[in-house]
Every structure is written in C-alpha cells, then in structure tokens.
Amino acid sequence: MFPGTLSGGVVGRALEKKIWSYDTINIRDFAINNYGSVDDEQFGGGAGMVMRPDVVGNAIDSIKNPGKIIFFSPRGKPLNQQMVHEYIKNDTITLLCGRYEGLDQRVIDEYDIEEVSIGDYVLSGGELAAQVFVDTAVRLLDNVLGGGLDSTQNESFEIGGLEWPLYTRPSVWRGHKVPEVLLSGHHGNIERWRKQQSDEITKERRPDLIKEN
C-alpha cells in the first residue's frame, strides 16, 4: 500500500529528492503463529476482531527511533491544517494504521499514542489516513511546492477561511467571462475581491471556521 498515492506529484518528487523518507513495517511479521495472526476476539463479546497488544507492541519496539506515535482512528482528534503545522516540527513520526475493529487500548496507553481522525466516516483501514496525513505534511516542507511559501500560505484554512474562486486562460470559455477585476492588473482591487469572495464562501459553507478565528 506504500508509497501508494505518495509516489505521485509534488510529494513523490520530494520523496525522490529525499526531502522526506519512510520505512514500512508489516505487522504480520510479528504475528503470534505461522498463520500470520495479529488479531483476536474482543473481550466482552461483540462482532469484529481487535489487533493484539503483544503483536503491535513488538512491532513498535522494533523501531529504533519511533518519535511521536500516531494511531489513525475515527475516535481521534479531527486532523486540521494547524495540527499539521505542529506535527511537521517533529523529525520522525510513527504512523500506526489500524485494521479490523481497531487496536487494544493498552497499546495506546503504554506508548502514549495520539489518536487522529481524518474525518467523520469509517474507512476499512488506516493506510489511506496515513497517506492523507503524509501528503498534507510533506507539501508544507521547504522546497516541496514550486511557488515557495506563497503556495502554502494563500490557501484554504491558512487564510482564515476557504479559498476564493480560481480562473485561468482562456478569459472567455463557452461564453463565460472571467470576472473583470482579475484582468484589471489592479492589485489592491484584486486582493479586496478575493477577500470578499473568500469571506462569502466561508460564511455560506463553513460558518464554523469563522467562529474559530
């Protein structure tokens, strides 16, 4: 599953340039038997299997320098741009991807693991969540985006709301014109228009973002 989507685009190029790197650990290598078992039934009953603490603990202990450990879980703190800015201050992060119903609570407690969610829906595994996390983190690292600091700062969530509408050539397409102000070359007016558009869209679609700021 790795690098998966992380091999493409700017994040993939940054991987080739060694701006970031990763190792994967297959939890099955720490299985309790030759069948590769890493999970077991839930104490207290109920459907679904749980990842065993002995297996996952041994997998974590095999990492020389795990750094901060994150477990992806719908129960976790919802990931946002501000959290990503904090996480990239770490040189090394270990991302633990769940399967089945999830992970024995004792592993979370033992290693003081942070639980992170990528949204209010349930995936079948944590690998996609890990790739979302890495993608959003790596694009904030120096020398990853072509436009430099400007490309990461002029963006939804960084500007205190959602992005304004974007336009490119041709200036007329199927009879639809690009807003006049964008062709005016008047930077002050363009900036005001963008701010006003951004405010309107944010108010309509994500009023929660306005209250937060």
Q: Minimum distance between the CB of residue 126 and ligand SAH, rounded to whole angstroms?
A: 3
Residue environment code for 81-106, b if the CB has 16+ CB neighbours within 10 A, otherwise e? eebbeebbeeeebbbbbbbeebbbee
Interface with ligand SAH (CB under 6 A), residue from 97, 107, 137, 144: 97
Kindly report the number of other CB atoms within 10 A of residue 131's CB atom: 20
Q: Is 98 in the site for ligand SAH (CB under 6 A)?
A: yes
CA-based nearest residue to 155, from 198, 189, 118, 193 = 198
Identified binder of ligand SAH from the candidate list 118, 137, 144, 145, rule CB under 6 A:
118
C-beta neighbour count of 1 within 10 angstroms? 12
Contact range with ligand SAH by CB under 6 A, out of 16-24, 94-102, 155-163, 166-174: 94-102
Of residues 131 and 198, the one with the C-beta less far from ligand SAH = 131
x/- contact string, 47-86, with ligand SAH (CB under 6 A)? -------------------------xxxx-----------
SS3 72: strand
CB of 88 to ligand SAH, least distance (A): 19
